[in-house]
Amino acid sequence: MSEDTIFGKIIRREIPADIVYEDDLCLAFRDVAPQAPTHVLVIPKKPIPKLADAESGDKELLGHMLLTLKSLAEEMGIAEDGYRVVINTGKNGGQTVFHLHMHLLGGRSLQWPPG
């Protein structure tokens, strides 16, 4: 279950993280292995293992997370030049922590396809 993941432990403050934003619905922190000069993860406090497990009742939460990413991009000075939002879903999608999370990447030119 996602409560037992490293992200669940970050939410419960059992392990440290460089938290840049928090509210009642989500938490944002800097990635420990950044893939760009700005690399922040936004996670829901509600345990959802992966995007494929989200339900119609999660629409408000998912929208809130995207708007949080937008605000963070503005605050971190990467909104004007552009940034990427990534959601890896499932093993073949590159997901390694099974607690839904969105990556905010920016601060350099990002290539396509990503890899």
User: Which of the residues are catalytic?
Assistant: 101
- CB 21 within 8 Å of CB 27: yes
